A and B are shown apart, each in its own frame.
Chain A
Amino acid sequence: MTTLDEKIEQTLQKNSEWSGSADALWGTISNQLQQPRTTKHPWKHRPLWFGAAAAATVFLAFMLHSMFTPSTLPPALPEPQEMARMQTFSVAMLPEPEVYRQGEQVELAFDTYLASEWEQDQMLRLVIWTEVEGEQIPTGELPIRKEDILGQHSLSIESPDEPGLYRLVLEGLFVHEGQRMAVFAEKTILVEGEISNENVENH
């Protein structure tokens, strides 16, 4: 008998059969790769106030929408893990990023809580995300020792050397006194400073 997993997989396969040409698509991609790039990172070419102004506009729009749109749905119950993280989210969801200089100390406040039995083991780590052409991609990952977490409420790290917008995510599980503990924190920062190398000449 076919299992539900197999049925889902077969259904999705049968309903997504591509009749296009991989050769043609590769031809287009390889041609474009050989052409010089013209797009630029927006935060390197816009004044620093641009990000803050955009964030403030989005926040204002969200507030106005919330005020004038009556909610018809009952409040959704949070999933079990979310309840423990709400305190962190309330801190993390700031309307605009915090501003730091290059190499400045950043304090990352985190929550530690008992991991549920179905939360998978995951190495303690700090992941640094940045934005390239409007997409977030991870640019760095630092393993964190549980000794750096135990008994603490925040982690002190150095901001990146390159100016830009970054999102710092601390997450993972560790075992302490026989109990599986989970850690989570998130912070968005804007690193100010001179853009290195050739761009300095333009100032």
Chain B
Amino acid sequence: MEITEQELINQAKQGHQDALEQIFRYHVDAAIRLAYLITRNWATAEDAVQEAFLQAFRSLDSFQEERPFKPWFTKIVVNKAKRTKDRLDRGHLPYEMEEPNVHRSYEPEESALEKEGVDALFQAINELDDNHRLPLLLKYVSGLTEAQIAETLDIPASRVKSRLYVARQRLKKRIVTSRGGGQNDDA
């Protein structure tokens, strides 16, 4: 029988290590991806995620288990990652912007043009300001709903909707421009 998230959190609150580990394994991948895309540095992303899990697990008593865990935890990850990035940007920590892992794979049928398109889109995403990039990351990397993004970023849901709209429009415009115009990607 499959155990629900609520039951898992209940067990974790009682100190069951297995439950904590299951929660960790379920959320670690998305958390690391998100932290990396915010900090652009793998080592600091891992540090941020480690701190986020520690804080979340130590604060579980204050977490209401009837609410979804993911938005609550994601908010902690975002705060940790942003704080680390701010420290890095201010030069308080040694920092080297890293490229994404180069072992990423493209299917054989994917052409050089396809790879170029992915790179151009990623560059365009990175050039968005934080107000527009963060909601985008929370939607497409963390899989949060607009209401959950609003809760995570502590802004009204209407503002999330408008920021996602603006971000998508900018990316769409950028793709069309880089191709020399003409094609509509929003099929």
What 0/1 pattern do residues 17 to 40 of A give for CB contact below 8 A with B? 111101001101110110001000
Q: Which residues does chain A contribute within 8 Å of B64, judged by CB atoms? A: 141
For B145, the closest partner residue in chain A by CB is A120
Q: How far is the CA of A115 from the CA of B158 in the complex (A)?
A: 9
In contact, A3 and B122 (Cβ under 8 angstroms): no
CB distance from B150 to the nearest CB of A (A): 8
Chain B interface secondary structure, helix, strand, loop or mixed?
A: helix
Q: Which residues does chain B contribute within 8 Å of A15, judged by CB atoms? A: 37, 100, 104, 118, 122
In contact, A137 and B62 (Cβ under 8 angstroms): yes
Indicate if A177 sits at the interface (CB-CB under 8 A). Answer: no
CB distance from B86 to the nearest CB of A (A): 12
In contact, B104 and A120 (Cβ under 8 angstroms): no
In contact, B156 and A25 (Cβ under 8 angstroms): no
Contact of B54 among A7, A32, A80, A141 (CB under 8 A): A32
For A10, the closest partner residue in chain B by CB is B118
Bin chain A's interface residue count: 35 or more
Contact of A4 among B24, B55, B185 (CB under 8 A): B185
Bin chain B's interface residue count: 35 or more
Q: Which residues does chain A contribute within 8 Å of B158, judged by CB atoms? A: 79-81, 115-116, 118-120
Q: How far is the CA of A30 from the CA of B175 in the complex (A)?
A: 44
Scan residues 59-80 of chain A and give those whose CB is less than 8 A from a CB of chain B.
79-80
Scan residues 142-187 of chain B and give those whose CB is less than 8 A from a CB of chain A.
146-147, 154, 156-159, 161-162, 168, 171-172, 175, 185-187
Q: How far is the CA of A1 from the CA of B175 in the complex (A)?
A: 15
CB distance from B178 to the nearest CB of A (A): 13
Q: Which residues does chain A contribute within 8 Å of B111, judged by CB atoms? A: none
Q: Give the most central of B36, B50, B140: most A CB within 10 Å.
A: B140
CB distance from A144 to the nearest CB of B (A): 16
Q: How far is the CA of A16 from the CA of B125 in the complex (A)?
A: 13
CB distance from A124 to the nearest CB of B (A): 14
Q: Which 8 A-B pairs have the closest CB atoms?
A: A16-B33, A119-B158, A15-B100, A1-B187, A120-B157, A9-B140, A11-B121, A81-B158
Given contacts A16-B32, A18-B32, 4 further A-B contacts (CB under 8 A): A5-B140, A8-B121, A8-B140, A20-B32
Contact residues of B with A, CB < 8 Å?
A: 17, 20-21, 24-25, 28-29, 32-34, 36-37, 42, 46, 49-50, 53-55, 57-59, 62, 64, 67, 72, 75-76, 79-80, 83, 100-101, 103-104, 117-118, 121-122, 125, 136-137, 140-141, 146-147, 154, 156-159, 161-162, 168, 171-172, 175, 185-187
